[in-house]
Each structure stands twice: as C-alpha cells, then as structure tokens.
Structure 1
Amino acid sequence: MKIILTFTLLMIPGVVISMRVTGYSGGGVTITCGYDGGYRANEKYFCKGQWSTCTDQIKTKEKNKWVQQDRFSLYDDTTSRVFTVTIRELSERDSGIYYCGTELYGPDLYTKVDLKVITGE
C-alpha cells in the first residue's frame, strides 16, 4: 500500500521552522514549503544531513516546471509561492534530517524536515 503524506510550511525570515514527516517503505511523501513573494526568482533546494554539511538531493533549474533527479522531484510554483518536493520508493535509509531551502545572498531561508520511514503497512 502506497501512502503519500503532504505537508505545507511557510518559510519566514528569522523564524526556525521544523516538521516531522512519516512515510512508509515502498511508498512516497510529498512536502510543500512556502516562501515570501520576494524570493520567487531565488533557487530552491532540498538537502539531507546537518545544516552545515547538507548534501543537495535536488535543486530547481527552472521555475514552474518539474525537475527530477533519481527518486526526487521538485516543482517551484512561483504564482502560489510554494515549492513541492516528492520522494518516491522510500526505504529506511531515507530516514533522517532534510532541509527545504531558498538560496539567498546572505544566510539561506530553510525549513528543517525530520523524515521517518516505517517498514510495514
């Protein structure tokens, strides 16, 4: 059984936001992160690991178009000011800390995502 969980967050400067997401092995999750309208042109990304050493899983290349890399997909909807990340074919090794980020010239805006993948139905 594949279950997709969807979460929406708004990234607000100066506020640290975090969330927990649970997915099931073999299924997928969709994570939606919002951003302020002033950041429509900025690159968005989804990375894994601690913030200082976070490894990009996927980045935007074009606005308002799906980007895919392996099991990860990202769509930056500049009209709605949200970007959506989908991870397919989850396994326990996907569990861990991720970040939805918006690149800035100063410190990036980000949302911490704690993903837990459970084996079983």
Structure 2
Amino acid sequence: MEPAGMDYFCDQVQQKDVGRRMQVGQELLEYLSDPARSSDLEQDQQRLDKVIDELTGWVNSSNFKVALLGLDVLGAFVDRLSGRFKPYIGTVLLPLIDRMGDAKDQVREQAQNLILKLMDEAAPPM
C-alpha cells in the first residue's frame, strides 16, 4: 500500500506498537527523502505540528530503537524544512537534551548530532 501523504503519517505516527512504529518510521524517512512525493508536507500546519509532537514522543520512548528512529525522522524533517523547522525547536530541544544522558552511546551521539544539525540548518547564528 502506497502511503497517501501527510494525512496517512499523521494517523500512523500515533501507533504505540513498536513493530508498527518501526515500519512507519522507515516509510516516513522514504517519504521525506523524495520532494516530489512529499509535496503536501507543509500544506496543513496543524497536521505537521501533530506529526512533530508525536515524533518527539518517539524520542522519549523507552525502546532505544524507536528513539533512534524518532531522531532519524526528526533529522529528515530538519533537512527537508531547514529554516522553516525553527518553530519546532522548542518542542524537540528538551527531549534531545534528555537523550544526551541516555545509557546507550548510539542514542546520545544521535541526539547530539541532531542538536548540531538544528543549530546549523534551522537556527544558524545571525
């Protein structure tokens, strides 16, 4: 089944099942990497807000694989939206800072890399 777009992902990111989250996360990464396919990304601001909020919950997940996938997807959103991601920095920054104290090295490094990416792309100096 080909995902319809942001409507589809808005519903799917709310799934609590780990296996389903892993599948939806990969689909969302593919969707964001193809600008032609994801042309509806910013059409509905409330829908985008909801997806980012749900992904922030993924970052806070106790399952480190879900947390890593959440970090990957948020990174893809930063890449795609660049400076337009700025309104979401406040939403994602605290969970990222919390993850910098995670027991898993991989999660700590990924959280740090995403913070650096936010600084470079979404909120550059000046």
TM-score w.r.t. length of structure 2? 0.24
Give the structure with the larger helix fraction: 2
Q: What is the TM-score of this pair, normalised by structure 1?
A: 0.25
Higher normalized contact order (CA 8 Å, seq sep 6+, divided by chain length)? 1
Larger proportion of strand: 1
